[in-house]
Amino acid sequence: MARLGQLIKQLNIGLNTAVEFLNKKGFVVDGGSVNLKLTEDQENALVSEFGTDKDLKRRQEEAAQRKAKAEAKKPVVEEIKVVSNVPHIKVVGVVDLNKPDGKQMLRKNEEPRVIVPEQRSATAVEPVTGYSDPKSEKTTVESVVPEADTKATVNAPAKPAAIEPARVESAEKAVPTESDKKPVAETEKITASKIQLPDNNTERKGADEVAKPLSIVQETKKEEAVQQPEEKKEEIFKIESTVKASIKVIDKIDLSAINNSTRPAKKSKEEKRRERNAMEERRKQQSGGKNVYTAGTVVDASKNSKPKAETDANDAQKKKRKRIGGEKIDVNKVFNTPNKQSSKKGHQKHQIHIPQVNEEDVARQVKETLARLTEGNKGAKKGAKYRKEKREANQQRMQAEVAAERAEATVLKLTEFVTANELAAMMNVPVTQIIQTCFNLGLFVSINQRLDAETINIVADEFGFKTEFVSAEVVNAIHEEEDKEEDLVPRPPIVTVMGHVDHGKTSLLDYIRKSNVIAGEAGGITQHIGAYNVTLDDGRHITFLDTPGHEAFTAMRARGARVTDIAIIIVASDDNVMPQTVEAINHASAAGVPIVFAINKIDKPNANPEKIKEELANMNYLVEDWGGKYQSQEISAKKGIGVPELLEKVLLEAELLDLKANPNRKAAGSVIESSLDKGRGYVATVLVNNGTLKVGDVMLAGTSYGKIKAMFNERNQRIKQAGPSEPVLVLGLNGAPQAGDNFNIFDEEHEARELANKREQLAREQSLRTSKHLTLDEIGRRIALGNFQELNVIVKGDVDGSIEALSDSLLKLSTEEIQVNVIHKAVGQISESDVMLAAASNAIIVGFQVRPSLGARKLAEKEEIDIRLYSIIYDAIEELKAAMEGMLAPEIKEEVVGTLEIRETFKIAKVGTIAGCMVKEGKVKRTSKIRLIRDGIVIYTGELASLKRMKDDVKEVNSGYECGLNIANYNDIRIGDVIEAFEEVEVKKTL
């Protein structure tokens, strides 16, 4: 795995660019540093995205290398200025450079005291500074040369093969020597006018390098000497044959003055070998035009050959050369510069040839450097390594925390049964989008309808959220018993009757049950879900569920479809396939329930069953008469026509399903409805799906639990037990369970109590998570609307299903200007606590088929709380809608009441312009506002100052009459203008 820093260097991109790209791709690298290790997927993603940048960088580097090679071939001209601060020179005698053991003699006889500059080049001409001893008995003649005149030409030998064992390097002086027997006559100071220096400066390696050969090249035009500024004399020195002489010790070298820490490291054998090979190649290339010097010859280079000699000298000083015996150059005399002009002649720009760079050598050196760096890192101290590991661990921990926070933000913690409204609040999306998503999935849900776990998972996944059911441990705490095949016995089918309002659902059940349920329903419409067990003439049983047909009872229909085995869809033959019929069909299809169509009211004269079948065929529901798979039956619920045939078809479908259950086990089923009875307490209508429910069993249903005290059937007859597919009314729960909850039976009451408490705690946490607080955006939206209203409602009802339906209907009335909040809903009569809550939250109380207690009524009168009581859901919805419309600000509309044409104008002093008009249309009132129109353009809008007919003031003038009028604060009235009279009317807003 590569590190992020290495990869961004290769790809030629920045760190922030790489981190942002990886985050976009889904890789969490927040706080990533250059030392972050990348996975293969991350590395491949970066290379695929920014590979072009890498190729661009590689092409740029290749172009740079080609440019460097091209520049290396060009001669480089370098001019070096000589330091003008010239020290005094002490002449000590002749140095015999031919002696092969000169180096050893220097070591034995102590070298002269020389203070060397700190920075030296291994192959460069450097100044050697010598100071005369004030105590010395020898006579020295010193001459101070001015800075402008101290220039001489000192060049390296043109022949690279002439290498001496010891060599004096000097950049600013040459030492004039004679034989040992000669006295020291004088010492002149000379400086080099042209000095060839190599590119790299390195330190002097040791004291053995102090004395090194000095090569002097004399120009052939004339010999030069140093001119004394005081005497203006010229002394010309000629180079003579060298005479062997012994070395005379003058002084000692103070090695303590040398900074050992700045000395360069010794070259390796490989570096020395490469330098020798390079020197040999250059010597082979240049051997054709060189003069070969032997011992005892005078170095005589012509002016034409000077550039070549200078180049050779530069090369010789750059690299060490192999020693070749017999070839040497002696220095016998030193020549001085005669004058400025002769010095300037030799001051010419020279060329330095840079050797060609070998790519293999460069690559090898790069590898060696990287290897040394790696070795250095390996040998790092333990403390640094520990600190680095600690930093990386902290960084990884922080990255893991950031990733965990991001992941947690997309995880919804919820209970299994969450309403659509609560789910929308948790995901911070409009509830309409949740409902629309469910519609697209084939599920028809309302705002307060509770969704099962599978639906929640699908909907949350659509919006990019993951779900985590916190009630999992509660669900797992209930162990389901596996039924054996031999224990299963056939059970009666559960049939749900669904359809539109007034299409005859309850009438059909009344005929089957030989009773009159409709008479007990307010308004003659079903507002409760009913469960009935019917025994047929042949002894077979069918359990019917009657569902409301009103649009507000969507959740009830969905609940009925979920617990049923077969669905009967009733359609009136004298009507059409209505919206609630379509919804009921969709509920049954979504639950995977077989459908039997019952076409009702065929006894009516305007009945048209074929039209209903055609409409069903258009919805892709072909009945068997039309070659489809859905059974249908034409019936009359009131007269009983076709009802036996319908029941036969239902039983046929039931036989195909092969419905079985095990009665010899603990009961389990669903809660159909729950309510609060004043004499009985909390009661619940349940449908047993499996097992047998007995009096005395401990039941847990949702957040409610209790021991069953008594059970009643649908005819209100007390029973002691209920088998599979049997509806029953149970007493003894400590609360009203929510319709749709599943119930289970436990052996001990404390087990049910613990689970109920856990569920209640989870429900409380759920309500806190879904409570939506007022945000700045919402406040800004309300201020922008200007007339925003809130209507807080407390809903109390007789049964849980009705409360749910009414709450959904009220929430649907919310608009942008008026928001309906159901702050509390519960079953039972209106109590004093409900009134106090309404007073605290400025709410109204809506009672559905319940009455307030005596204390609640008195408290409501005292607190001036509005309590509305309803028995029909239509009335409750319509009245609340009217109340909301009354809260809306009315709209102001203009209504034109008359049109006048100006026939003549009169100007009266102190009054203004009076217009004589004819009323063309409508009538003009004295209180009407007017609009002056000229050539179709409104000129002025204002009010009338006066309205007269003849000389009398009048309140109004009808069409066809003439009148005189004066416009308040306006006199620019012309003949031919049109005056339009209008009134502003307030129009009540509707929802």
Tell me the three-class secondary structure of 506-534, residue by residue.
HHHHHHHHCCCCHHHCHHHCCCCCEEEEE
Candidates 118, 50, 128; CA nearest to 89 is 128
How many Cβ atoms sit within 10 Å of the Cβ of residue 13? 18
- Note the Cα 338 to chain centre separation in Å: 82
- Cβ count within 10 A of residue 839: 15
The residue assigned the tokens 């600190």 is 387
Provide φ and ψ at 220, rounded to 5°.
-85, -15
Provide the 10 A C-beta neighbour count for residue 115: 13
Q: Is 499 annotated as a binding residue?
A: yes
Q: Give, rounded to a whole angstrom, the gap between the first and last alpha carbons of the chain.
A: 65
**Alpha-carbon torsion 93, 99, 101, 102, what sign?**
positive
**CA distances to 94, 212, 286, 404 from 123, in Å:** 23, 11, 19, 65
Residue owning tokens 């039956």: 633
CB half-sphere exposure, 797, CA atoms < 13 A: 24
375 conformational bin, left if phi > 0, alpha if psi -120 to 50, beta if neither: alpha
CA 470 to each of CA 263, 465, 763, 982: distance values in angstroms, whole numbers, following the listed order: 74, 15, 10, 66
Residue 153, annotated as binding a ligand: no
* Residue 773, annotated as binding a ligand: no
Is 501 labelled as part of a ligand binding site? yes
CA–CA distance, 471 with 474 (Å, rounded to integer)? 5
Q: How far is CA 821 from CA 204, 818, 825, 873, 882, in A?
A: 93, 10, 11, 18, 16
The letter for the amino acid at 936 is G
Query: Which pair of structure tokens corresponds to residue 226?
Result: 């140093």
How far apart, in whole angstroms, are the C-alpha atoms of residue 881 and residue 814? 10
CA 119/CA 143 separation, integer angstroms? 27
Does residue 347 have a known ligand-binding role?
Answer: no
Q: Residue 72 to residues 76, 196, 284: CA-CA distances in angstroms?
A: 8, 18, 20
Contact 498, 584 (CB under 8 A): yes
- DSSP assignment of 902-956 equals EEEEEEETTTEEEEEEEEEEE-EETT-EEEEEETTEEEEEEEEEEEEETTEE-SE
Strands (E) in 488-616, as ranges, are 489-490, 494-499, 530-535, 541-546, 566-572, 595-600
Confirm or deny that 602 is annotated as ligand binding: yes
Cα 220 versus chain centre, distance: 82
Query: In the beta sheet, which residues pair with residue 830?
Result: 852
Question: Residue 788 CB: number of other CB atoms within 10 A?
Answer: 15
506 marked as part of a ligand binding site: yes
Torsion of CA 73, 79, 80, 84, to 10 degrees: 170
Residue 893 counted as an annotated binding residue: no
Alpha carbons 522 and 534: distance in angstroms, whole number: 24
Residue 89: CB partners within 8 Å, gap ≥ 6? Answer: 130, 173, 175, 187, 189
Residue 548 marked ligand-binding: yes
Q: Looking up tokens 């929802």, which residue turns up? A: 991
DSSP count for the chain of H helices, then E strands: 24, 39
DSSP, collapsed to helix, strand or coil, labels residue 156 as coil
* Strand ranges, E, within 373-484: 411-414, 418-419, 450-451, 466-469
Would the annotation count 977 as a binding residue? Answer: no
Give the gyration radius of the chain's Cα atoms: 57
Q: Is 541 annotated as a binding residue?
A: no
Token pair 């390195």 is found at: 202
Say which DSSP state 470 is in: T
Q: Which residues are annotated as a binding site for GTP?
A: 499-506, 546-550, 600-603
Q: Which residues are annotated as a binding site?
A: 499-506, 546-550, 600-603
